Amino acid sequence: MARPREFDADAVLESATRVFWTKGFENTSLDDLCAATGLNRSSLYASFGAKRDLYLSALARYEDGSAARIAAAIEGKPVREGVRDFLEALIDSIVAGPGRRGCFIGNCAAELGRLDSGAAARVRRSLARIETAFRDALTEAQMRGELSRESDPTALARFLTAGIQGLRLVGKVNPDRTVLNDIARTIVRCLA
């Protein structure tokens, strides 16, 4: 009979996510993961599979949080205000330091996207989910008259998804609030 798990799998996944997000896939060792999670190698393997499996699970967890943060920021507000609030919080995180790790999804795309078809597929699903969160909000905003009838919510959602990735990338190397605010203001102005 198998022993029951004696750890919180969600907490372990959160710890692994932080390590992968900070160090990347290649630079994260099993020793790093064991130290961060408090589990030994055999427990990690038994619960989460190989390092790559754990990485993709961490990416999926991050995606859940990203989609939830976007929805929370824009829900119940005029769309421009919600997007502006989301971008301001993102910029605050970048300037304060934690956000300089960039976007875990973008980091995965840069590190593994060309070489690992499974990771590339996970990134595409993650970006599509973020795009959907924006598209749904933009479609509702259009129905409320906040966006012109000529606006294409799908194209705008894709633009917002790409714009946020770009903002996070710039923030990794230039966390200057003035620069980041300029980018954010331009993104919001495009919501017409």
> Residues 119-134: pLDDT tens digits?
999 999 999 999 999 9
CB atoms within 10 A of CB 157: 21
pTM of the model: 0.89
> Residues 37-81: pLDDT tens digits?
999 999 999 999 999 999 999 999 999 999 898 989 888 899 999
Q: Domain of residue 172: give its range.
A: 59-189
Report how far residue 159's alpha carbon sits from residue 134's, in angstroms, rounded to the nearest whole number: 10
Whether 68 is covered by a domain: the verdict is yes
Whether 125 is covered by a domain: the verdict is yes
pLDDT of residue 183: 98
The total number of structural domains in the chain stands at 1
pLDDT of residue 76: 87
CATH code for the domain of 113:
1.10.357.10
Report how far residue 100's alpha carbon sits from residue 184's, in angstroms, rounded to the nearest whole number: 16
